[in-house]
């Protein structure tokens, strides 16, 4: 059972890749975004909540089994951050590139309160919480850009 949980938490071999979080977002997150963009916002929000709960459970138990905090082998926190980043956004390749680079950058830089959440919140809450903050910041920037300069994100005004 423990091996199965760790295999799910690492999404098979992805958690063992160099830059495992970035690889996971590129290989799993972007196709999920394509699928997600075809769903209603209510469905997207419900799925974001479900993904977050799954990530919290997997990271909590997975880190305990591995004896680590925020193990690079467990990558669901990265998926949650990217999923939140693209909530309600249309799928275009321009938007994918901007969302990917911005969310990954914000996740690495840990703008407040992300770093505080990562350090202060216990266990999986800190692990997943900092990615949620990066996702929320990215989502806000993307939606602002969609209003101000939609053509830059591949959206033709009607």
The answer to whether position 158 is within a domain reads: no
The answer to whether position 48 is within a domain reads: yes
The answer to whether position 80 is within a domain reads: yes
**Residue 82 structure tokens:** 């990217």
pLDDT at 157: 75
**Residue 12 structure tokens:** 């098979």
Question: pLDDT digit string (tens) for 128-156?
Answer: 999 999 999 999 999 999 999 999 999 98
pLDDT at 71: 94
Q: Where is 154: in which H helix or E strand?
A: none
The answer to whether position 15 is within a domain reads: no
pTM over 0.85? The answer is yes
Range of the domain at 38: 2-9+21-153
The answer to whether position 69 is within a domain reads: yes
The answer to whether position 143 is within a domain reads: yes
Nearest-angstrom CA–CA distance, 117 and 141? 21
Query: Is-contact 83 139, C-beta < 8 A?
Result: no
The answer to whether position 108 is within a domain reads: yes
Going by pLDDT thresholds of 50, 70 and 90, the confidence category of residue 69 is confident
Burial class (CB within 10 angstroms; exposed 0-12, middle 13-18, buried 19+) of 11: buried
With 90 as the cut, is the pLDDT of residue 96 above it?
Answer: yes
Task: Name the DSSP class of 39.
Answer: S
The answer to whether position 102 is within a domain reads: yes
Query: Is-contact 60 123, C-beta < 8 A?
Result: yes
Work out how many domains the chain is built from and give that number. 1
Question: pLDDT digit string (tens) for 37-47?
Answer: 999 999 999 99
With 80 as the cut, is the pLDDT of residue 158 above it?
Answer: no
Nearest-angstrom CA–CA distance, 33 and 25? 10
Nearest-angstrom CA–CA distance, 68 and 143? 36
Nearest-angstrom CA–CA distance, 125 and 52? 10
């Amino acid at each position: 059972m423990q091996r199965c949980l760790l295999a799910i938490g690492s999404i098979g071999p992805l958690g063992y890749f160099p830059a495992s979080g970035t690889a996971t977002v590129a290989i799993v997150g972007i196709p999920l975004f394509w699928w997600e963009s075809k769903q209603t916002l209510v469905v997207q929000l419900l799925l974001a909540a479900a993904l977050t709960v799954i990530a919290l459970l997997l990271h909590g138990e997975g880190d305990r089994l591995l004896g680590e905090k925020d193990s690079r082998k467990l990558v669901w926190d990265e998926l949650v951050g990217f999923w939140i980043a693209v909530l309600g956004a249309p799928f275009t390749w321009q938007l994918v590139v901007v969302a990917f680079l911005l969310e990954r950058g914000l996740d690495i830089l840990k703008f407040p309160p992300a770093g505080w959440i990562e350090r202060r919140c216990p266990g999986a809450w800190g692990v997943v919480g900092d990615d949620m903050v990066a996702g929320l910041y990215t989502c806000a920037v993307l939606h602002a850009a969609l209003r101000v300069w939609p053509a830059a994100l591949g959206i033709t005004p009607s």
